[in-house]
Amino acid sequence: DAKTTQPPSMDCAEGRAANLPCNHSTISGNEYVYWYRQIHSQGPQYIIHGLKNNETNEMASLIITEDRKSSTLILPHATLRDTAVYYCIVRVNRDDKIIFGKGTRLHILP
Amino acid sequence: DAGITQSPRHKVTETGTPVTLRCHQTENHRYMYWYRQDPGHGLRLIHYSYGVKDTDKGEVSDGYSVSRSKTEDFLLTLESATSSQTSVYFCAISDWTSGTGYEQYFGPGTRLTVT
C-alpha cells in the first residue's frame, strides 16, 4: 500500500497558486518525499523531491512540515497545462520498490 | 522520454496467448521497472530490476514474469494472457542523478488489449 494520503481531486483557477497536500504520517527518518505528475496518458514526470528542508526548482516548491508528517507541493502560477494527476511518494533515497498511490487530479479552471 | 522506448506501443491479443513487452533504454541506468495503469487504480508496480539478472516482485506480480539479460533491456512476459491484464503498461528507469536523486524516467507506455 502507498504510504501517502492525497485528496482525490482539486480545482485551481488559472494564474493562481495551486497547493497540493500530502500526508505521510508514517515516514521514516531516511525517507524522502518525491512528487511526480502525469499529464493525460503520458508517463509520469518528476517534479521535485526533498528530505526535510523546503525545496524549490523551476517547476514548483515543496514545503515539508517540521515533523515531516505532511508536505505541500506548490505550483506558483498554475496554467491549463498543469492539469494532471499529481503523485506524492515517500521512499528511501536509493532504488527499491516504489509504490504510487492514486494521486490528486488537479483541474485548472480558465 | 530520456532514452526509453517500449515495444510494441499497441497490441491486441487473445486470451491464453503469450505476450512479451520490451523496454529498452540507452541511459545505462541500473534500475528498471514495469508498472500497469488501470482506471481507478493509478500506477501499480509489477516487477522491478536492480541489475542484470536481478529482479524482484512488485505489488501485482501474479501472472507476469520478467527477465533482464542486458542492462538496456527489461522484458515483461504474460505467459497466458487474460482479460484482466488489459491495461496500459509503463516502463521506468532510474539511477542516481545529482540534483534529482533517484528520479524515475518513464517510457511512453504500451496499450495492451486482451480479447
Percent of chain A exceeding pLDDT 70 equals 94
Residues in B closer than 8 angstroms to A45, CB to CB, are 106
Q: Assign B42 a pLDDT band (cuts: 50, 70, 90).
A: confident
HSE of B66, CA atoms in CB hemisphere, 13 A: 28
Q: What is the pLDDT of residues B54-72, one digit of tens each?
A: 999 998 999 999 999 999 9
Q: Helices H, strands E: what count in chain A?
A: 0, 9
According to DSSP, the β-strands at B87-94 and B64-70 are unpaired
Nearest-angstrom CA–CA distance, B35 and B109: 9
Interfacial B residues in 68-97 facing A (CB < 8 Å): 88, 90, 92, 94-95
Name the amino acid, one letter, at B102.
Y
Query: Are A96 and B50 a contacting pair at CB < 8 A?
Result: yes
Among A32, A98, A103, the residue with its CB nearest the CB of B104 is A98
Please state, in angstroms and as integers, the Cα–Cα distance from residue B63 to each residue in A62, A97, A100, B19, following that order.
38, 19, 20, 11
According to DSSP, the β-strands at B87-94 and B31-38 are antiparallel
Work out the minimum CA distance from A36 to partner chain B, whole angstroms: 9
Where would I find the H helices in chain A? none
| Residue B82: how many other CB atoms lie within 10 Å | 11
- The C-alpha cell that represents A108 in the structure block: 485548472
Q: What is the pLDDT of residues A3-23, one digit of tens each?
A: 899 999 999 999 999 999 999
Mean pLDDT of B80-105: 88
Q: Assign B27 a pLDDT band (cuts: 50, 70, 90).
A: very high
How far apart, in Å, do the first and last CA atoms of chain A sit? 35
Residues in A closer than 8 angstroms to B59, CB to CB, are 97, 99
DSSP code of residue A17? P
Q: Assign B41 a pLDDT band (cuts: 50, 70, 90).
A: confident
CA-CA-CA-CA torsion for B68, B6, A95, A20, nearest 10 degrees? -160
Question: pLDDT at position A91, please?
Answer: 83
Residue B98 pLDDT > 80, yes or no? no
Question: pLDDT at position A13, please?
Answer: 96
Nearest-angstrom CA–CA distance, B18 and B93: 25
Nearest-angstrom CA–CA distance, A84 and B15: 33
Contacts of B62 (CB under 8 A, 6+ apart): none
Contacts of B34 (CB under 8 A, 6+ apart): B21, B23, B45, B46, B47, B48, B58, B64, B66, B74, B76, B89, B90, B91
